[in-house]
Chain A
Amino acid sequence: RKEVEQDPGPFNVPEGATVAFNCTYSNSASQSFFWYRQDCRKEPKLLMSVYSSGNEDGRFTAQLNRASQYISLLIRDSKLSDSATYLCVVNPTGANNLFFGTGTRLTVIP
């Protein structure tokens, strides 16, 4: 079983829509969680960390559900510039070893 699993998509949504991605992880002892964004032919970059209490950054909200072992990313009022691949990242042991999901591709359509 993979450490991290994501729906690869693609998700095609109109501008202004709200879209949510989920990601499941297999190791219940996982300590830290992140969402990364990867634009076409670019390297991944941190979008936001995911905290136990949930956190929000502008139009982006990240949540963690430890009981069900998933994290989510919600994007409100989608912009064309949000089109990218979103990668879920989990630290399964707290030992600085990061596992990336395969990513969910989002396309925001005018």
Chain B
Amino acid sequence: GAGVSQSPSNKVTEKGKDVELRCDPISGHTALYWYRQSLGQGLEFLIYFQGNSAPDKSGLPSDRFSAERTGGSVSTLTIQRTQQEDSAVYLCASSSPGMNTEAFFGQGTRLTVV
């Protein structure tokens, strides 16, 4: 595909269940970012990958959140034992190597914890 692809687009889950969100970045993009956005709020940084490594995990809100990236491509964000406050849109973005490069966003996964 030409753009960043995220799946699922919508996810409703029961409190306490685990969820896995997937991001397929643009081919060749080495940098990958996860953000979350609650309704009416700004983007909250979660984690950043350069290749398969995550030099910056500072934004993960708790140890229930984890992310991995394999093969320098697809990334998964896992939330364990979901809570209602985890409800948000989870956005993934990728960018190519080098400075002054644009980050392209996927359309996001809207997570609702009931």
Answer whether residue A27 sits at the interface, using C-beta atoms and an 8 A cutoff: no
B100 touches A49 (CB 8 A): yes
Tell me the complex Cα distance, A101–B37, Å: 12
Q: Report the minimal beta-carbon distance from B95 to chain A, rounded to whole angstroms.
A: 6
The reply to whether B48 and A97 contact each other, CB–CB distance below 8 Å, is yes
Q: Chain A 3-44 against B: per-residue CB contact (8 Å), 1 yes, 0 no? A: 000001000000000000000000000011010000000111
Contact A96 B43 (CB under 8 A): no
Q: Is the CB of A102 within 8 A of B99?
A: no
In the complex, chain A residues whose CB is within 8 Å of the CB of B104: 46
Please list the residues of chain A having a beta carbon within 8 angstroms of any beta carbon in chain B.
8, 31-32, 34, 42-46, 49, 87, 89, 91, 94-103
Chain A to chain B contacts (Cβ below 8 Å), 27 pairs: A8-B42, A31-B100, A32-B100, A43-B105, A43-B106, A43-B108, A44-B43, A45-B105, A46-B103, A49-B100, A89-B103, A91-B99, A91-B100, A96-B30, A96-B31, A96-B50, A96-B95, A96-B97, A96-B99, A96-B101, A97-B31, A97-B56, A99-B45, A100-B42, A100-B43, A100-B45, A102-B43
Q: Which 4 A-B pairs have the closest CB atoms?
A: A102-B42, A43-B105, A32-B100, A96-B31
